[in-house]
Structure 1
């Protein structure tokens, strides 16, 4: 999760990355059941001064057993999106970040994403907002976090190298169409997911691509065959 109590009181820059954890057999309603790590707040020196903040992290365990907080990254200087990998100790008390190695290429990384591990395929999977090259060319200079009209399925073996397996949802319009804030589950051979969706509704439509007018349910059949 993130603390919003950073010294810079602006979106993005106010967020500090942290982990909150609890034993599986503990009483979740008791405050002293929970362990909080230290908070890593905004650092203006990251990404050669182009770091705009990190937020909406994922708790993910890699194949060696290391726990990570993998976060969305705000960097408006480029369309080459990325994620940040914050290292968490096994007791959940210490968060640390190496800015030389901790930023990894991640298509869709400027928007919220969820990462899950599938033990059958032995891959990590995510559904994220890909930006096609044509859309990049048509929207030069725009913040990549605001381009959400294409949603795609990605896989990885190591959390650092990701492959786009399939485009799932797309619309040619960027301004008032979006598929975003996806969360998903594995269900047998399929992935089921929900999307906060801005789309045509027979009236005025969504206010913009972010302020969606639908919550939509989707199924990816035999998703492992995309590998």
Structure 2
């Protein structure tokens, strides 16, 4: 075995089971109401390939058919039923991992699926998380997501592409180690800003071929990789350009160490993004419960902020305000102000925004020049007695970053158990007159509302009409 010095793998497998790289591998799974689409690859040999499948609880023999091409669809399946399946290579005892899926009505377009009992990616986790969406100059959409489980390794990311505006998706590559990754495009190159694992080192890598191959990532901020020690917390938050500088929000700390400080990471837009010394980070500001307008009670403070230029031209960080257990328990977002003249100066408290959806779950926030408004996709609280619910996904808008209003409910599943159904951690972009977004979706017998089994793609057509 040779030493390895790369970031992208097709597919990634731990070195102690490197033989699996030469076996058939199922790299994408997308079940529907009575069918399941999947994509596969096999670097170990040529010849005929066959797929075998049956219901998980069945004692009958597997159904089998020959595969043609790298994509396939199993049809005529029973709705709301768990199936297991695998792929073999002809005349060899070479088979893929046995994968599991559950049929059921899909919401949006399924980019990828991972059954909560599927252990194929146990080297990282069991659930899909951290969706990130970017549109390239070629018109290609790229979607990334990682695999997590509480207190697990949490270090594997999948990348998919769509060449038809999100109607169909196909596998590109795995990135390892890569967690909480944010895709963005800048000056003729694609970048991924991520951590190595939860609270691991924050680093950045670059691709010049639309994500198929990647540079070795370089570290911007070190991290211990342990919640008991703390480190960078960097969800896939927006990267924005303002007055010649790129900005993105970053936090530092952990829940185990008592919370997170909040900051902004930035760099001159003309600088080399792969030179760590070119980046600047503010000192991290600790939440203060005496700030004017703070909720009464013990709060987790701010987390997962959005860098954005305010109406006054200054740079701000608009954060999820963790209010669970406080009075009130929802309805605000935390706004901190940066200093665009001193990129390392700590943020300062600005105000608490009136914002249903600005607490207890990550949200994406973008400014749209055409409407002169700030748009966000949020987990809206529609029942006061359920302030942590994530089963209603809504579009919110603001003109001043101080007061937001809900203008459209895209996914309303309030009648579903809020402990089991969640639509959350959206990554979105503005595409002409439409909004395109990826959602971390938990439904159809997910492990729970937080531990998602789907990453789904959605489109809001003519979104500016909701401003009225």
Residue 158, structure 1, aligned to residue 407, structure 2: no
- Normalized per residue, the structure richer in helix is 1
TM-score normalised to structure 2 length: 0.43
- Normalized per residue, the structure richer in strand is 2
5+ residue gaps, structure 2, are 1-249
Structure with bigger gyration radius = 2
Structure 2 residue aligned with 1:117: 367
Q: Is the 8 A contact 2:259 2:300 kept in 1?
A: no
Q: Is the 8 A contact 1:62 1:159 kept in 2?
A: yes
Shift of 1:24: 1.1
RMSD, matched Cα: 1.7
5+ residue gaps, structure 1, are none
Residue 95, structure 1, aligned to residue 340, structure 2: no
Structure 1 residue aligned with 2:63: none
Structure 2 residue aligned with 1:213: 453
1-side partners of 2:323 and 2:347: how far apart?
Answer: 20
Structure 1 stretch 38-47 or stretch 66-75: which is displaced more?
A: 38-47
Shift of 1:44: 4.9
Q: Which of 154, 167, 180 is 2:424 aligned to?
A: 180
Question: 1:129/1:64 Cα in 2 relative to 1: closer, same or farther (>3 Å)?
Answer: same
Q: How many residue pairs end up in the alignment? A: 209
2-side partners of 1:175 and 1:127: how far apart?
Answer: 20
In the TM superposition, what whole-angstrom CA distance separates every residue of 1:149-196 from its partner, at most 9, and x where no partner exists?
Answer: 001001111011112110011212211111000011111111000100
1-side partners of 2:425 and 2:457: how far apart?
Answer: 12
TM-score normalised to structure 1 length: 0.86
2-side partners of 1:96 and 1:217: how far apart?
Answer: 34
Q: Is the 8 A contact 1:192 1:217 kept in 2?
A: yes
Residue 14, structure 1, aligned to residue 259, structure 2: yes
State the SS of the aligned residue for 2:384: helix
In the TM superposition, what whole-angstrom CA distance separates every residue of 1:26-64 from its partner, at most 9, and x where no partner exists?
Answer: 111211101111110243545344322211011010122
2-side partners of 1:3 and 1:154: how far apart?
Answer: 28
State the SS of the aligned residue for 1:224: helix
